[in-house]
Structure 1
């Protein structure tokens, strides 16, 4: 797969969209986790496209990023389940350090 020149200018901005969504949408813990997942997946896509042109026989970096993304998702869901059981809701605004 070849990457065209205008696409090369937009690819580094791909992880910024979920980052802005994470900054401006902090109402729900689940939405924060989804924004983090979108960031990880956009970084995997960016790495796959940029490293695919350099050396297509080395997909280990993409695999490492996917493993970290899966670990981040499982830890985030475990924390969310713990918060839901202790407080009854997942609103980020009600979380404080003393309650967690």
Structure 2
């Protein structure tokens, strides 16, 4: 018995995408939505693979590794931006004024 029905995973991924689009001004909300999408994809890969199928489990570990790298880079950018500009608003950075 699974805790999450497989029919809810695409809906959760779509909701994370909608959240990322609607909250694109705040870097923290964008990073949280990206993490939700990565975790949904990892859960989908694990649920659709059997315990004896190693390539699918290997793919899930690759997705999890990329998610961890993305989280570390995003957190580093968030800390740098907060220290430089005082907030996480993308519009306050000088990169958008070009």
Q: Is the shorter-chain TM-score for this pair beyond 0.5, marking a shared fold? A: yes
- Where does residue 28 of structure 2 map in the other structure? 30
Q: Greater relative contact order (Cα 8 A, min sep 6): structure 1 or 2? A: 1
1:1-100 map, 5 Å: 7-52=5-50, 56-57=51-52, 58=54, 59-97=57-95
Cα distance in 2 for partners of 1:67, 1:44 equals 10
Q: State how many pairs are aligned.
A: 93
User: Where do 5+ consecutive residues of structure 1 fail to align?
Assistant: none
User: Where do 5+ consecutive residues of structure 2 fail to align?
Assistant: none
Q: Which runs of 4+ in 1 moved over 4 A?
A: 7-10
TM-score (norm 1): 0.78
TM-score (norm 2): 0.79
